[in-house]
Structure 1
Amino acid sequence: MPELEDMTHGMTLGLYFGLGNALAEQKNFLSVLKRYSNKRFIDVRIGFRSDTDANALYRAQVVVNQRKYYVVGTYDQSSPNINTAFDAYDCTEIFKGDVVIFFFSVYGSERFLESMPRYPTGQEKEAIRRVLTASVN
């Protein structure tokens, strides 16, 4: 984390696939921006379920059609539940945890978007399905 005087607190939007949710939801996560740079530190623990162990988080950067996505998730192999929120994006992967996708700007490659990205061909669902598939395998 940056020094206190170099931090600006804010929020970062993510598409959250909660284990107990039927659909994905747009959700803001607490974040800190380091001044004079584009480095952002996102605290995903607050947005996940209360029983999430911070040490059990995984992080991945996924590239689909030349767009970058930052994916953070939890996984509990012993859980009897699977994440059914993936179904809304036609993702048939079986995953036992929460997942959030953060979207990078196309033009500022290290800057996170403050809203859902616009896809030129209207293939949002397909792109997100591919991100989910790549990140859970």
Structure 2
Amino acid sequence: MAIPGYDASTVAEYSLEQVGARVAVVANVVPEAFGLAESDSEVLAAALSAPVDLVACDELRAVEAIRITLDYDPTALPPGASPTDVAVAVETGAGRRRLHSTVDLEETTVTAVLNDRPPGSTVVAVYDDRNEKTGD
């Protein structure tokens, strides 16, 4: 799972296949403890994937890029929902924050690419019916 624009030898990659989660990171410091774990968080009613924890995420230093990819269940979409409106969301102290995401309809995955650590450590795929331009 290369991150476009980065030399593959500089990318640290982790996966948690049993829940269909993958993360790749380019950073000056990637702690040995960094990785993915099944989350103990309650599964949200709107969730299209199992919640996943980014372990030791707050210990990453000088992050250039982080790519989070989650498998999602298209049968869990609300009736009439567009599968292109799936997003990666991260749990923060203030609630859930949707990240700008790209959907691969063929692979039924959703991917978010960030240039810094996410604002939380638990991620999940959700249906995002907000208008991207207005936020409504």
TM superposition score normalised by structure 2: 0.32
TM superposition score normalised by structure 1: 0.32
Larger Rg: 1
Q: By percentage of residues, which structure has more helix? A: 1
Q: By percentage of residues, which structure has more strand? A: 2
